[in-house]
Chain A
Amino acid sequence: MDLNIKPAETYRGDYTFRNSGDAILRFPFPFPDDNYMYSVNIEPHVRGGETVAFQATFDLDEHYVGDMADRAITLADDPLRCQVLPHMAEAEWDTLELLMESLAHDYPQHFSLTKTGDEWHWVNRPLNIDQHFTFGKAETLPYGPFEYITRQVQGDFSLQDQRENMLYMDGGMVTSQADWSLNFDVGMSFTEWHGPVPLAHEMGVFDRALQYLLRLQLGKPVRRLNWTLTANPRLDTSPENYPAWGPEKASITAENVGERLCLRVELQTLTRLPRSNAILFGIRGYLIRLEELARVRKWAVRMHRVIRNLNPQIAEYKGMTRYRQFIIDYLAPFDDGRVLNQGIAAEQSSL
């Protein structure tokens, strides 16, 4: 698969981040219907489907170098954004193996992996990495295996240990999260870390999702889409740095909402790991400015309806109270009342 990697843009300060036309068309739009409500919207993670973002096992795109540079800045400021509890050592190696093999398979012009027994040779051309190491020996890598490889893959990751009919978030690389703290949540159970989400518990969504995930099988990964909104294309919207990015939310106006307000979508994948029997939870984040999204007519119309009709508790939990009306007003001119097809596909091949 082709990547067309751009030189690094910025996700803080001057926010030079932009999506090319191709990136806009391959964006994983999250709304299949005109109304949105929480559900166990898990499906098998098979290649292809309604968006190009579903093609690779772990999707990379033109923002690869920029995303990884931003992660490096966040980690330099706060190393606790990557933590793995001691009993998850095997899961770290499972993760390294899975991500290296997937990238080398899906993007062979950019990554290669050669193995001689336990002596592995990994090449990452976009990031200029050429690494020989011994699989299973952490001292042969510059970082722990989980940190090492997740510094080279877009998206956040968490490691879930399965025990006592429950999942525990016992590790993670979390630098592009939508407002949750790894340092606070590490070690929590599935039910605990989802604690703050309104409505979904009462609906039984988490109970059903948990039962499903406890029986996740090797070789049968699953995926779902989650979404929120972000002021400016900022990846590090952590609670730790909320005092820095919080004021940006208040600076959204009717005039700048198209340029500054971003839809933020998480392509979440869940994969059973072979040796540790843990689950790797990938949270691959995508950002798109409202004015970029509006170039796809179906998406402009649909998003207008979803945000307008959204349950107020969900709107509040997703932090959009300040600018919800600006979004509705910006998108309303696109909505001529047409009937839209169900599904997330763009239904146009050019902008």
Chain B
Amino acid sequence: MKSRPVYAPFKLDLSGRAHLIVTNQAEPPEGIEDSLGEIEIWTVRPGSLGVPAPAAAHIRAFRATAELLPQLSHRLMRETTGLRFYTIGSEAFIWDAYNIAVQAGLGTGEISLHRAGPLVRRVYCTHCRTLTEDVAQNILPCPACGATLFVRDHFSRRLAAFMGVKVDAEVPGEIPAPEVFVS
């Protein structure tokens, strides 16, 4: 599929001066020595019951992605060039984080994205424009307009979503068997 990049395994880019890792997983990736002073890690810890996590030297644990993402642009505004930005997690989350990073001025060679967690997709209904999260298979009813959508293998970074198009537009009811996403 040409519209979506190949995700490489996580690895620190040592040409950077400082590193910020942002993940919607509960734990940071393995193999990071946080004794390396210039690495900062943001995670999302479920089960907080609303209680903020205590401040720690290089790790911040947020209560939800909705708390994490708005803070990101604020954090990047104070940065100077030389930062390497890594985002790890579900596909929709990492591209949402990517878009914030690009708005802040980061670009090629400074951002790397890594997929982790269940193989689910955000789907954009091309007809009514509704976005549906956490879709696990390639045929689904749009929760807003009801059209049965086929999820095309065409990905928009801007929307962080795959394109869903009505599967039985030509002959209503002619719907193929759904397939679970394997990538």
* A side interface size, CB within 8 A: 25
B150 CB, min distance to chain A CBs, angstroms: 11
Binary per-residue interface labels of chain A (225-248) against chain B in the complex, 1 for a CB within 8 Å, 0 otherwise? 000000000000001111100110
Are B3 and A188 in contact (CB-based, < 8 A)? yes
Q: Decide if B126 is an interface residue (CB 8 Å cutoff).
A: yes
A51 CB within 8 Å of chain B: no
- The smallest beta-carbon distance between A84 and chain B, in angstroms, is 14
Whether A196 lies near B154 (C-beta < 8 A) is: yes
- Nearest B residue to A80 via CB reads B129
Contact of B108 with A184 in the complex, beta carbons under 8 Å: no
Q: How far is the CB of B91 from chain A (nearest CB, A)?
A: 15
Whether the pair A184, B1 counts as a contact (CB closer than 8 A) is no
Count of CB-CB pairs between chains A and B under 8 Å: 68
Contact B126 A239 (CB under 8 A): yes
Contact among B3, B126, B155, B169 with A246 in the assembled complex (CB-CB below 8 Å): B169
Does A125 belong to the interface (CB within 8 Å)? no
In whole angstroms, what is the CA distance A194 to B165 when docked?
A: 17
Cα A239 to Cα B156 with chains together (Å): 15
Contact A196 B126, CB 8 Å, known A184-B159, A201-B2, A239-B165: no
Contact check: which of A164, A186, A193, A242 meets B166 at CB < 8 Å?
Answer: A242
Give bound CA distance, A239 to B129, whole Å: 11
Closest residue of A by beta carbon distance from B152: A196
A184 touches B166 (CB 8 A): no
Assembly CA distance A142 to B134 (angstroms): 42
A191-B163 in contact (CB<8A): no
Q: A196-B152, A250-B171 provided; 17 other pairs, C-beta below 8 A?
A: A184-B126, A184-B156, A185-B156, A187-B158, A188-B156, A192-B3, A193-B3, A194-B2, A196-B2, A239-B163, A240-B126, A240-B127, A242-B127, A242-B166, A246-B166, A249-B170, A322-B170
B114 an interface residue at 8 Å Cβ cutoff?
no
29 contacts between A and B (CB under 8 A): A164-B107, A181-B126, A181-B163, A184-B124, A184-B156, A185-B156, A187-B157, A187-B158, A188-B157, A188-B158, A191-B2, A192-B2, A192-B157, A193-B3, A195-B2, A195-B153, A239-B163, A240-B126, A240-B127, A242-B126, A242-B166, A242-B169, A243-B127, A243-B147, A246-B166, A247-B169, A247-B170, A249-B170, A322-B170
CA distance A187 to B95 in the complex (A): 14
Contacts of A164 in B (CB 8 A): 107-108
Chain B residues closer than 8 Å to A194, beta-carbon distance: 2
- CB-CB under 8 A from B108, the residues of chain A are 164
